[in-house]
Amino acid sequence: MLRFSKREDALRQKVRLLFVAVIAVAALATAAPTRADNYPTRPVRVAIGFGPGAVADLAARAVGARMGQTLGQQIVVENRPGAGSSIAAEYVARAPKDGYTLLMATVANTINAAISTLPFDFSKDLAPIALVANVPNVLVVHPSIGVSNVQELIALAKSKPEQIFYASSGAGTLAHLSGELLNVRAGVKLVHVPYPGSAQGVTDLLAGRVAAMFSPASTVWPHVEAGRLKALATTQTKRAAMAPNLPTMAEAGLPGYDTGIWIGLLAPAGTPREAIDKLARALNEALKSDEVLTPLRAQGVDPLGGSPDEFARHIANDTRNWTTVAQAAGLKK
């Protein structure tokens, strides 16, 4: 049997400890959070809660292509429709916190958080990266009701309580809650008529079977330009680029009214801030590119951008707003 001196034993122990330390450092390096200096090293996936051709899908593909060029990795768009985008949101909320699985969210997600009990917390389980765009939403009426602005519609609704009907693309949708917010802010009672989709609602609005509707401008604008519908106001805090002469609901006499159709990019909560900031910079750079702006503006979409903190404040305000509206409308959570 070989025998070692105490000095040799001590040396062997030091070598053993050094070896263990090297293995530990290697393991920590493998499990270390994503760093800005090497992220991303593989394709990044962006989940969308709607099918191909939806505005959020178009925005994700336009922005993602440009972001991929900046980041040096492909941005892969995955459509995971269902439950008003909650399926896609939960998928991303449960994903690894490494910046390789993202969510292109919309206002539907904050509405769902306000009116539904979800298996995840949208505000806590997802980390905002930046707002992407805003889709103009507009209040339109059938010309036969004889109103030309929001105040005239309010006066008509007060004179005929529960006799003015407005269409929506379904209960709990933005179109529905936009009407409920009008009821709350104006002290009126327009009656909600839900349809399976916006197309059916627009059809009945054109036929005069309902009086009004809140709709994405791109859906109804051809009818407005043809004189078949009358646009009264846009629902965001700023006027829409595609309708600069149309007042906002706030300008029309309802201060604080804001039901914009926003689109924004998020990651699983816990994703390293370095990765989030790098994604935000790439996104903001993409929104300055003509190859992104041209297809977005062709759909009537207004680009936004901004910081993760600004988007976080937007989500918090939006969720509070929809919670108030849902409670006033008697929608159960």
Reported as a single tens digit per residue, the pLDDT across 87-111 is 999 999 999 999 999 999 999 999 9
Q: What residues pair up with 193 in beta bridges, in sequence order?
A: 167
The mean pLDDT of the chain is 89
Q: In the prediction, which pLDDT does 122 show? A: 96
User: Measuring CA to CA, how many Å separate 231 from each of 216, 235, 249?
Assistant: 12, 11, 11
| CB contact at 8 A, 272 and 37 | no
- The predicted model gives 201-216 an average pLDDT of 96
Per-residue confidence band for 297, with pLDDT thresholds at 50, 70 and 90: confident
Q: Give, as one character, the DSSP assignment of residue 190.
A: P
Q: Output the pLDDT for position 7.
A: 56
pTM metric for this prediction: 0.80
Residues 225-255 have pLDDT tens digits of 999 999 999 998 889 888 899 999 999 999 9
CA distance 167 to 177: 11
44 CB-contact burial (10 Å; exposed 0-12 / middle 13-18 / buried 19+): buried
For the ranges 68-72, 133-137, 240-244, the one whose mean pLDDT is highest: 68-72
Q: Which residue has the higher pLDDT, 12 or 75?
A: 75
13-56 pLDDT, tens digit per residue, is 654 655 444 444 444 444 444 455 799 999 999 999 998 888 89
> What residues does each domain of the chain span?
44-134+260-329, 137-234
230-234 vs 75-79, strand pairing mode:
unpaired
What CA–CA distances, in Å, run from 326 to 119, 269, 322?
19, 26, 6
CA dihedral 295, 299, 303, 309 (to 10 degrees): -110
- The CATH superfamily label for domain 137-234 reads Periplasmic binding protein-like II (3.40.190.10)
**For residue 33, cis peptide bond before it (omega within 30 degrees of 0):** no
Q: Which CATH architecture has domain 44-134+260-329?
A: 3-Layer(aba) Sandwich (3.40)
Strand, coil or helix: what is 260?
A: coil
pLDDT in tens, 186-195: 999 999 999 9
137-234 has the same fold as 44-134+260-329: yes
Amino acid 253 reads G
Q: What is the pLDDT of residue 207?
A: 97
Q: 301-324, pLDDT tens digit by residue? A: 889 999 999 999 999 999 998 998
pLDDT band at residue 126 under the 50/70/90 scheme? very high
Between helix 107-115 and helix 86-93 the angle, nearest 10°, is: 90
Rounded to 5 degrees, φ, ψ at 7 are -65, -40
Structure tokens at 140: 């339109």
